[in-house]
Amino acid sequence: MRCILGISAFYHDSAAAITVDGQVIAAAQEERFTRIRHTPDFPSNAIRYCLEASGLTLDDLDAVVFYDKPLLKFERLLQTYYAFAPRGLRSFLQAVPVWLNEKLFLKKAIYDGLAAIAPYNKKRMKLLFTKHHLAHAASAFYVSPFESAAILTVDGVGEWCTASIGVGDGNSIRLLKEMSFPHSVGLLYSAFTSFLGFTVNSGEYKLMGLAAYGNPGDPQTLRYVDLIKTRLADIKPDGSIWLNQHWFTYTTGLRMMDARKWQDLFGMPARAPESALEQCHCNLALAIQTVLEEIILKMAAEAKRLTGADNLCLAGGVALNGVANGKLRRAGLFNDLFIQPAAGDAGAALGAALAAHYLYFGAPRMAQPGKDGMQGACLGPGFSEKEIEQLNRRMRAVSRRYEDFTALCDDIARRIEAGQVIGWFQGRMEFGPRALGARSILADARNPDIQSVINLAVKFRENFRPFAPAVLQEDASGYFELDAPSPYMLLVAPVQQERRTALPNDYADLSLWDRLRIVKSDIPAVTHADGSARIQTVERHTQPRFYGLLEAFKRRTGCGLLLNTSFNVRGEPIVCTPDDAYRCFMEAGIDCLVMENFVYDKTEQPDRDHRERWKRTFKSD
């Protein structure tokens, strides 16, 4: 039995994962335990959880694997500053001490971090390091259902590599082609994320959502696309890009781009966070999204040319762009796609463990056609009824326990049909950024008002943000132009035309907010401004309890589809524990909470004084 712990840390989205003989046993992001979004800290809590879930100790591990090579990163730092000197002296003086104190002595930091978790025999510990994009590639291919496949990884930057094309066959992975820093698709997209007022490394999905409000035929949008392709990025036939560093400052500065130069180029100032969104912002978002899609399609075509493979695996942070993924799927370059649900740096912890198992130790691999190894991505902690009952006593929470889960689903389906918003907490927590029916907020997608209600009164976030539909797998084609399962909410596709509502003739001329209020289909709460949706298909064997609720809702309404969004409020990670879920339920506009077989009605919970006392209990959070 070979047991391997993979770790990602010290940049963003720290995480840990454990594999046993190549099977994924447990994986979780550190943010879910510390409640600090995208934390870079050593994933002590995630490692403790993975060890507990696997029944292993540190001394049982055959290897601990870190998700990149820090010395190569340090080499990139030094060479980059040397190449651009004397620019970036201030940034250099800030960065180098951090690297010397934390990153360069990473082995000691890892050994010390493990020692703080539990005693272990350091002499027996095998500590390995894998290249960043190899970890991404491994995270997708080794859990895919494919015996062989092309592999495409795209992100901001690893050590030097910013994108790679490879091929997986059996237990082997060969990287065939790489693109190197400072030329990066991920950093290009992040520069626009920053310019449009969102946070880099977390706001890219907001940029993708905003793009749907852009007008494709508007001369301004077309001009923006042309400026990007002629002034900022030279796109090669193979999808590689050359970025003109005259316009960017991420190589030597503390910001992504030169905002004054971009203002002159695009004719608008950088948008301040939380300021009003105007049509020019939407059009610029659409322009960079359009360019991104062109690049990804060219990269995929190059992967097809180099490998001749029938299937494609995707990973890296850019692989979370569901709009690009959907267009790649519809392009028909490959028979099938597999996208790692934790495609960003968190998933690279899993990839590091798998790379060691198959490449370092040389273990054989046998794919299971039609079935991936991610187990629905439900690889995080689960909680017993005893732990939930302890919460009830501690918080004086009022709940009803159902002996019959079918009866529970019937009750919740009735509540959803009546317009209630449901917090849904079932089984093991998801690994990756998407809530897939284990830690979800649910509502009736047919309700035209519910999108604004959840954005403003539940999630406390920007009202333009779209929501995803969760649909019974067998019903998906009746709602969406989708010819394949999408279990991890990573494919965007159009809503079927017959379900769409005729739009006003002046729709393209309306403001973002006026377009937001127009009903676009018979499932308006999950139909985005351009008539698309980011789809999760639900199968009984991977999510039986969530599937049961969708079935109950369909029995009641004829609709086997619900709005599904992550169980959290703006600025917080997805809930992990029953305490997290109950707190979020009490503080947000959620009408009803379901934790395993317990149902909590907001109107029956303790009075205001009790609620304030409860909040003080969690003041340290």
pLDDT in tens, 168-221: 999 999 999 999 999 999 999 999 999 999 999 889 999 999 999 999 999 999
pLDDT of res. 85 = 53
Q: Kindly report which listed range (74-88, 507-521, 572-586) carries the lowest average pLDDT score.
A: 74-88
Residue 265 identity: L
Q: Kindly report which listed range (509-518, 534-543, 593-602) carries the lowest average pLDDT score.
A: 509-518
Neighbours of 465 (CB within 10 A): 17
Interval 520-544 mean pLDDT: 96
- The band of 295, judged by pLDDT with boundaries at 50, 70 and 90, is very high
CB 168 within 8 A of CB 137: yes
Gap between the Cα atoms of 342 and 104, Å rounded? 27
Neighbours of 201 (CB within 10 A): 17
Q: Compute the C-alpha angle 485/489/491, nearest 5°.
A: 65
DSSP codes joined into one string, 337-364: EEE-TT-SHHHHHHHHHHHIIIIIS---
pLDDT in tens, 306-332: 999 999 999 999 999 999 999 999 999
In 48-143, DSSP assigns E strands to 63-66, 127-129
| SS3 category, 431 | coil
- The band of 141, judged by pLDDT with boundaries at 50, 70 and 90, is very high
Distance of CA 527 to the CA centre of its chain: 20
Q: Compute the C-alpha angle 126/131/137, nearest 5°.
A: 110
Interval 548-566 mean pLDDT: 98
pLDDT in tens, 372-397: 999 999 999 999 999 999 999 999 99
Task: Write a three-state SS string for 151-168.
Answer: EEEECCCCCCEEEEEEEE
- The band of 165, judged by pLDDT with boundaries at 50, 70 and 90, is very high
Angle between helix axes 204-211 and 185-195 (nearest 10 degrees) is 80
Question: Does the pLDDT value for residue 617 go beyond 50?
Answer: no
Gap between the Cα atoms of 249 and 259, Å rounded? 9
Question: Does the pLDDT value for residue 593 go beyond 60?
Answer: yes
Gap between the Cα atoms of 459 and 567, Å rounded? 9
What phi and psi values does residue 495 have, to the nearest 5 degrees? Answer: -70, 140
Interval 32-61 mean pLDDT: 97
- The band of 613, judged by pLDDT with boundaries at 50, 70 and 90, is very low
Question: Does the pLDDT value for residue 98 go beyond 90?
Answer: no
DSSP 104: T
pLDDT in tens, 455-488: 999 999 888 999 999 999 999 999 999 999 999 9
Half-sphere exposure of 416 (CA within 13 A, CB side): 31
Question: Does the pLDDT value for residue 612 go beyond 50?
Answer: no
pLDDT of res. 99 = 58
Specify the residue for token string 């960003």: 344
pLDDT of res. 508 = 83
Interval 566-589 mean pLDDT: 96
Q: Say if residue 175 is exposed, middle or buried (CB neighbours under 10 Å; 0-12, 13-18, 19+).
A: middle
Mean pLDDT, the chain, integer: 93
pLDDT of res. 251 = 77
DSSP 615: H
CB 196 within 8 A of CB 284: yes
pLDDT of res. 87 = 58
DSSP 437: S
- The band of 615, judged by pLDDT with boundaries at 50, 70 and 90, is very low
pLDDT of res. 190 = 96
* Report field, pTM of the whole predicted structure over 0.85: yes
What phi and psi values does residue 416 have, to the nearest 5 degrees? Answer: -65, -45
As given in the structure block, the two tokens for residue 491 are: 């494919």
Gap between the Cα atoms of 319 and 153, Å rounded? 8
pLDDT in tens, 330-383: 999 999 999 999 999 999 999 999 999 999 999 999 999 999 999 999 999 999
Question: Does the pLDDT value for residue 415 go beyond 70?
Answer: yes
- The band of 92, judged by pLDDT with boundaries at 50, 70 and 90, is low
Q: Kindly report which listed range (395-409, 433-447, 507-521, 593-607) carries the lowest average pLDDT score.
A: 507-521
What share of the chain has pLDDT > 90, as a percent?
A: 84
CB 241 within 8 A of CB 188: yes
Gap between the Cα atoms of 108 and 89, Å rounded? 28
Gap between the Cα atoms of 511 and 516, Å rounded? 9
Angle between helix axes 219-227 and 259-266 (nearest 10 degrees) is 140
- Beta bridge mates, 127: 64
